Amino acid sequence: MAETPTADALIATAAAGWGYAESTQVDGWHLRAAEGFTHRANSAWPLGPLERPLPDAVSAVQAWYAERGLPALVQVAVGSELDLALAELGHERADALAWRQVANVSEVLDTLLSVAPIGVKETFADEPTDDWLSLYRSGTVPPVARQVLGSGEGVRFATIYDSDTGAPVAIGRAAVIPATDADAPDGSRWVGLSAIETAPSARRRGLAKLVMDALLEWADEQGATDAFLEVSPDNEAAVGLYAALGFTTHHEYHCRVIG
């Protein structure tokens, strides 16, 4: 990572790595909706400056989500100027606290050099397959999940199968973020990792590492130099895994609930 991006810059990068079903713009903010599937696909991303006073913009955000029967959420870095301004307006409740973590792709791959679990096979696809979705969130996602997860040109889905039973036992998703010289003058290019999940019966076999290794190898071939992911601080197993691979917390974010 030649230059450490600001929280606002990384929020914008992460926005390009996650899909949605419909969207609109409120000045420099991107409002997304997807029938309530994931906070990231159903919240406002503040990607640029507002052209109107904050209270007016917030009212427009609230109205747009109300038309869709969804809560109005604004994703903000914890403690940022916008976060504090929303709290001052009375929008004190916050949901979905997460850590956005970063690491250098080459360094993580070096750490994963010895990853080679026995008794599994791997498959890859450019869209979520039925097997992949059967494991994601225990197979309980709505049909709109295919659209949200499969959005974008540079998306890769990895599925690990148990070679004895043929059952999917681990999955992951990677999205390489398109970048221009203006976006990344230092030559960096990002890949977002998400949905790294292992079936309960197959844990402690190194399968999550195998998924990450496969996805980062692909991302490296696409020119990605840096990786980001999001993790709940309550997920101790995932936090420990990512720390061991060299990921560090860039910033905390949550969604301010408007109204």
For residues 54 and 66, membership in a common domain is answered with: yes
Q: What CATH number did the domain enclosing 189 receive?
A: 3.40.630.30
Task: Give bridge partners of residue 210 from the DSSP assignment.
Answer: none
| pLDDT over 80 at 10, yes or no | yes
Domain shared by 114 and 78, yes or no? no
Last residue of a domain, one of 70, 99, 128: 99
User: Are both 25 and 115 inside the same structural domain?
Assistant: no
Report yes or no on 51 lying in a domain.
yes
For residue 47, the enclosing domain spans 7-99
146 and 65 within one domain: no
pLDDT tens column, 64-73: 999 999 999 9
The string of pLDDT tens digits covering residues 231-240 is 999 999 999 9
Q: Are residues 85 and 110 in the same domain?
A: no
Q: For residue range 149-171, what is the model confidence (pLDDT) as tens digits?
A: 998 779 999 999 998 889 999 99
Say whether both 109 and 148 belong to one domain.
Answer: yes
**Nearest by Cα to 238 from 211, 219, 215:** 211
- Of 2-11, 16-25, 199-208, 224-233, least confident by mean pLDDT is 2-11
Domain count, the chain: 2
In this structure, are strands 155-162 and 120-125 parallel, antiparallel, or unpaired?
A: antiparallel
167 and 242 housed in the same domain? yes
Helix H, strand E, coil C: the string for the chain is CCCCCCHHHHHHHHHCCCCCCEEEEECCEEEEECCCCCCCCCCEEECCCCCCCHHHHHHHHHHHHHCCCCCEEEEEECCCHHHHHHHHCCCCCEEEEEEEEEEEHHHHHHHCCCCCCCCEEEEEECCCCHHHHHHHHHHCCCCHHHHHHHCCCCEEEEEEEECCCCCEEEEEEEEECCCCCCCCCCCCCEEEEEEEEECHHHCCCCHHHHHHHHHHHHHHHCCCCEEEEEECCCCHHHHHHHHHCCCEEEEEEEEEEEC
User: Confidence class of residue 181 from pLDDT cuts 50, 70 and 90?
Assistant: very low
